[in-house]
Amino acid sequence: MKLRTIFVMIGILVVLGMFFFISRQQPESEPQAKPRQFIWSVGMEDLKHLTIALPAEGKSEAWVKHEDRYWYFDQPDGPKVNMKRWGGGIPLLLSGPGVERPIASEATDKQLEIFGLKDPKMKMVLILGNEDTINIDIGDKTLDGQAYYIKLLNSKAVYTVDYTWYDVLERLVLDPPYPENEEH
């Protein structure tokens, strides 16, 4: 009887050992990625008016979405934008940039100056269909050149956004998407 009990105990230990070994071999589940934070978030269809200013260059451009759902330069009899350059990408970029990194939730005036947000490189105004307005200041490039500092006008929260986001919007002002001759 003692021998049979010893074999049963050994069998139980072997089964438990195999279970432990197998359970340790399974990869641990990866941690869930946090959803990307956005500085603002609006539906592309909600955007009705856009102004981008580059104060240092003394240049600015403005566009308005007409009832035909196309974008036009916001000037008397403003022409329709060149859709080859505008496409759906510009409204998508403006619906809310993803945060590369939060920098400060309550930036001091000194920090805002360091980030170039006291005298922004770019100012944007988005007007939505419900007449809500979003005012945005974009400051200097980060030291590594991969992002720009950004904040909403009445906020002290500072974030970074990818440099390509800024570059596309800057190009809209420096090289506006006027229609090609056949689009007039």
Cβ atoms of residues 59 and 53 within 8 Å: yes
Could you tell me which residue, 184 or 5, shows the higher pLDDT?
5
Q: Please name the helix (run of DSSP H) or strand (run of DSSP E) that holds residue 170, with its range, or none.
A: helix 163-174
Residue 37 tokens, joined: 């934070």
Domain annotation covers residue 77: yes
Q: What is the pLDDT of residue 184?
A: 45
Q: What is the pLDDT of residue 27?
A: 64
Domain annotation covers residue 170: yes
* Number of domains forming the structure of the chain: 1
Domain annotation covers residue 4: no
Quote the percentage of the chain above a pLDDT of 70: 92
Q: Which domain holds residue 105?
A: 44-183
Domain annotation covers residue 73: yes
Domain annotation covers residue 79: yes
Domain annotation covers residue 159: yes
Residue with tokens 């007039």: 184
pLDDT, average across residues 146-151: 96
Cβ atoms of residues 104 and 156 within 8 Å: yes
pLDDT, average across residues 107-123: 96
What one-character DSSP code corresponds to residue 10?
A: H
Could you tell me which residue, 85 or 156, shows the higher pLDDT?
156
Domain annotation covers residue 177: yes
Cβ atoms of residues 165 and 124 within 8 Å: no
Give the C-alpha separation, 169 to 33, whole Å. 29
Q: What is the pLDDT of residue 17?
A: 76
Q: What is the pLDDT of residue 26?
A: 60
Residue 89 tokens, joined: 């990408």
Nearby residues of 79 by Cβ (< 8 Å), 6 or more positions away? 72, 73, 178, 179, 183, 184
Give the CATH number for residue 153.
Answer: 2.60.40
Domain annotation covers residue 13: no
Question: How confident is the model over 13-58, as pLDDT tens digits?
Answer: 787 777 777 766 666 666 667 777 889 999 888 999 999 999 999 9
